[in-house]
Amino acid sequence: MTELNLNFSYAYGEPLGNAGFRCEYSDFQVYEQLPKAPEGEGEHVYLYVRKTNNNTAWIAKQLAKAAGIQNMDVGYAGLKDRRAVTEQWFSLYMPKGSEPNWQQLDIQGAEVLTVSRGRSKLRRGDHADNRFVIRLRNPSARVEDLEARLKLLSQGVPNYFGEQRFGADGGNLQRASQWFDEGVSIRNRQQKKFIVSAARSYLFNRVLSERVQNHSWQMTLEGECLLEGKASGPMWGRGRLESTAEVLALEERVLAPMSNWCERLEHLGLRQDRRALAMQAMDLSWQWLEGDLELQFRLPPGAYATSLLRELCHLEQPEIVEE
């Protein structure tokens, strides 16, 4: 079985002490922003939904059931965290017929805030950004140290895929190793999708961790493949790496121990792609609330808030007893 290491390099030194994380659902809030408002007309009903402690995919299925349509006719721009209070848009293909009373839907932990219509189905990545409001409980580090670190983080952080991408305790990566290295068959189609996504993300994180380790994650090296002016790393698939020279040599060296995974991903028909090594938190601000630290910032699609938080402090997440 492939040796897996999720202890990726830190850009600004070790995290500063500990803090309580997601102690309450409202400690982690996400507000999805679309590039523009729905048109107000069209074949798709647009619903802006607040959900608490629910998966996006589960809410989508409940909306399809309430509307009497197929699951595939419900679209959304991104998966939002479960253990949180989040607001996001859903589109439902309903060109004809009557609509339910959306404000009276009986879906536990969900509330429809806005109803509109649009001309097209929402697809992954269609949102402009996500706004986060996160409360860290009783940080153990000194206030001045945390604020100095936050000023550094405002300059950019490594664009790691968050640990939630890999499943509980890295379970999706363990299953990837069983599938790729040991030939264990994975029959569930949805599970396969999650495993493949986790495997590609892990390979990217390994390359990024090496670039952080050698302090080149914000630099342009010889042979760099730039994305909007930023250095990038590989999202593995079929085809040649787009990097050359020094960067190509680094990526090949780092991923050499994972050659079996690379080969299997190629055979699954995935194409080579790239992802930026650095991400910028927009409008980063903070305030102290009775000894807790509240952060507010915006991130583009595909970026993880936990990848910023890991550079600040160790996150201690308690068990929440479900009612």
Question: DSSP letters of 217-250?
Answer: TTS--TT---BTTB-EEEE--BS--S--HHHHHH
Quote the percentage of the chain above a pLDDT of 90. 87
Within the chain, all domains assigned CATH 3.30.2350.20 are found at 35-127
**Strand, helix or coil at 184?**
coil
Q: Residue 313: exposed, middle, or buried by beta-carbon count in 10 A (0-12, 13-18, 19+)?
A: buried
- Beta carbons within 10 angstroms of residue 238's beta carbon: 12
Distance CA 307, CA 45 (A): 34
Span(s) in the chain for CATH 3.30.2340.10: 157-279
The CATH number that domain 157-279 falls under is: 3.30.2340.10
Per annotation, catalytic residue among 27, 81, 126, 129 = 81
Q: What's the mean pLDDT in 220-247?
A: 95
The pTM assigned to this predicted structure is 0.92
Among the listed ranges 26-35, 263-272, 284-293, which one has the minimum average pLDDT value? 263-272
Kindly report the number of other CB atoms within 10 A of residue 85's CB atom. 21
Q: Give yes or no for residue 314 having a pLDDT over 90.
A: yes
Contact 142, 85 (CB under 8 A): no
Residue carrying structure tokens 């936050």: 150
CA–CA distance, 69 with 286 (Å, rounded to integer): 43
- Residue 320 pLDDT more than 70? no
Could you tell me the fold of the domain covering 35-127?
A: Pseudouridine synthase (3.30.2350)
Tell me how far apart the alpha carbons of residues 216 and 172 are, in angstroms, rounded to a whole number.
29
Check residue 323 and give its pLDDT: 47
Catalytic status, residue 81: yes
Mean pLDDT, the chain, whole residue set: 94
Average pLDDT of 266-281? Answer: 94
* Distance, C-alpha 208 to centroid of its chain: 16
Question: With bands split at pLDDT 50, 70 and 90, how would you rate the model's confidence at 93?
Answer: very high
Confidence of residue 30 (pLDDT cuts 50, 70, 90): very high
